[in-house]
């Protein structure tokens, strides 16, 4: 069959959704399946990105970059190129097509913690995401927690949702022990000898303000620096400015986005990966850190308990006291640290992009029967 892949978001920042998209597509193309893929872009200059794959046709129709592209360009391209099923690695499906369609719901934070989002985002997601869920043939959720939240808040039948866990790149993320490579990365980013590590896109659900407050309580007594890798511009800088604490300004290091080639080394050298988000649909950095032998502290809410199982210290993300105490526990107990490293390495083996892609393909193959017109919602 022909699988149309909606890739309007392909140019977005290098966060979790972009990583998911690139890795799943790479694996889908090498699984040895008999299908042809039609990669659909909003930018003509992306054509050629997958030129080396004989089972890929790349097409583009620049009809905007938002909802307009999803609702007009995608169904037009799907019709022109005769695709059998549409797949969007990000959330959204076009209403104006009867073709089967599948999208990935990476989280349900808009419903669970709506106060963390701007009013216009709350209105959009509260009203439009349920339409997408009703219009889709299948919704792939990245954890059972996301599935449960989506079912509760959208009212869509649970049978329509399929949990497919994220993966990580085993060839890139592993314990880095080579002293030369460590020294090179330490020098490039001016990393201190002992540091806590955090990585991601900085926005309200990431709980940066409480992380900084907890770090303020422990940094001096434990002689630590907090290294933050991720978005440090625009909205992120405004949020950081609001959470700024002058007393730790010389102990917080912002690196910006870090290439995956260096991330494994940064995880490997860190004393602890601190990731107590208010909500995570999955949290790819959690399994990357565990795979690199870095102990993990994360939230006891959302999907992290499901993802890490017994391989991390779990804390209430709303409690600065618990975050600070959790950091102390790991850094003052060699026995606990060793146990977390061992359990983390074992748990990380359960995840992989090859497994994720196989399960995505199974879901796509299982829904090629066209949707009845009655299943398409009227906005």
Q: Given this model, what pLDDT does residue 31 score?
A: 87
> For 269-279, what is each residue's pLDDT tens digit?
999 999 999 99
The band of 54, judged by pLDDT with boundaries at 50, 70 and 90, is: very high
Residue 297: Cβ within 10 Å count = 26
Q: Given this model, what pLDDT does residue 370 score?
A: 44
Q: How far is CA 298 from CA 164, 207, 273, 286, 323, in A?
A: 21, 11, 8, 8, 9
For the residues 64-81, what does the mean pLDDT come to? 91
Judge whether residue 289 has pLDDT over 70.
Answer: yes
Q: Given this model, what pLDDT does residue 232 score?
A: 58
pTM score of the predicted model = 0.89
- For the chain, what is the mean pLDDT? 90
The band of 125, judged by pLDDT with boundaries at 50, 70 and 90, is: confident
The full 3-state SS of 156-213, as one line of letters, equals: CCHHHEEECCCCCCCCCCCCCCCHHHHHHHHHHHCCCCCEEEEEECCCHHHCHHHHHH
> For 189-227, what is each residue's pLDDT tens digit?
999 999 999 998 888 889 998 999 999 999 989 999 999
Q: Which residue has the tokens 């050298």?
A: 269
CA 321 from chain center: how many Å?
A: 27
Q: Given this model, what pLDDT does residue 24 score?
A: 96
Structural domains in the chain, CATH included, are 2-167+354-369 (3.40.50.2000), 179-351 (3.40.50.2000)
The band of 372, judged by pLDDT with boundaries at 50, 70 and 90, is: very low
The band of 371, judged by pLDDT with boundaries at 50, 70 and 90, is: very low
**Contact yes or no for 368/100 (Cβ under 8 A):** yes
**Contact yes or no for 57/40 (Cβ under 8 A):** no
Single out the residue of 124, 134, 125 nearest to residue 106, CA to CA.
Answer: 125
Residue 190: Cβ within 10 Å count = 9
> For 232-265, what is each residue's pLDDT tens digit?
555 555 556 555 666 777 889 989 889 888 999 9
**Contact yes or no for 356/166 (Cβ under 8 A):** yes
Judge whether residue 299 has pLDDT over 80.
Answer: yes
Q: Which residue has the tokens 């919602």?
A: 377
Q: Given this model, what pLDDT does residue 375 score?
A: 40
Give CA torsion, residues 17, 375, 75, 143, to 10 deg. Answer: 10
């Amino acid at each position: 069959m022909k699988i149309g892949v909606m890739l309007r978001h392909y140019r977005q920042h290098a966060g979790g959704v972009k990583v998911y998209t690139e890795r799943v597509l790479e694996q889908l193309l090498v699984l040895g399946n008999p299908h042809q893929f039609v990669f659909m872009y909003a930018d003509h200059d992306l054509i050629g990105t997958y030129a080396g794959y004989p089972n890929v046709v790349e097409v583009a129709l620049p009809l905007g970059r938002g909802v307009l592209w999803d609702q007009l360009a995608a169904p037009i391209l799907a019709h022109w190129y005769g695709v059998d099923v549409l797949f969007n690695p990000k959330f959204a499906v076009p209403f104006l097509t009867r073709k089967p369609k599948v999208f990935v719901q990476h989280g349900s934070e808009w419903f669970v913690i709506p106060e963390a989002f701007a009013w216009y985002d709350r209105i959009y997601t509260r009203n439009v995401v349920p339409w997408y869920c009703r219009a889709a043939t299948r919704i792939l959720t990245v954890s059972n927690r996301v599935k449960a939240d989506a079912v509760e808040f959208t009212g869509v039948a649970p049978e329509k949702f399929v949990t497919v866990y994220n993966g990580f790149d085993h060839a890139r993320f592993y314990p880095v022990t080579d002293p030369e490579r460590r020294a090179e990365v330490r020098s490039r980013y001016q990393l201190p000898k002992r540091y806590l590590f955090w990585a991601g896109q900085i926005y309200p659900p990431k709980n940066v303000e409480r992380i900084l407050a907890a770090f303020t309580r422990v940094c001096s007594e434990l002689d630590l620096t907090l290294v933050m890798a991720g978005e440090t511009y625009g909205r992120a800088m405004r949020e950081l400015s609001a959470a700024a604490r002058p007393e730790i300004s010389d102990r917080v290091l912002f690196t910006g986005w870090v290439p995956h080639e260096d991330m494994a080394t940064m995880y490997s050298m860190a004393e602890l990966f601190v990731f107590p988000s208010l909500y995570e649909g999955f949290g790819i950095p959690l399994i990357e850190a565990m795979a690199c032998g870095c102990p993990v502290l994360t939230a006891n809410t959302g999907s992290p308990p499901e993802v890490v199982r017994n391989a991390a210290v779990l804390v209430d993300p709303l409690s600065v006291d618990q975050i600070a105490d959790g950091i102390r526990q790991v850094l003052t107990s060699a026995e606990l640290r060793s146990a977390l490293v061992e359990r983390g390495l074992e748990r990380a083996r359960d995840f992989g992009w090859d497994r994720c892609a196989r399960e995505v393909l199974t879901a796509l193959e299982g829904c090629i029967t066209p949707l009845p017109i009655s299943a398409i919602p009227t906005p």
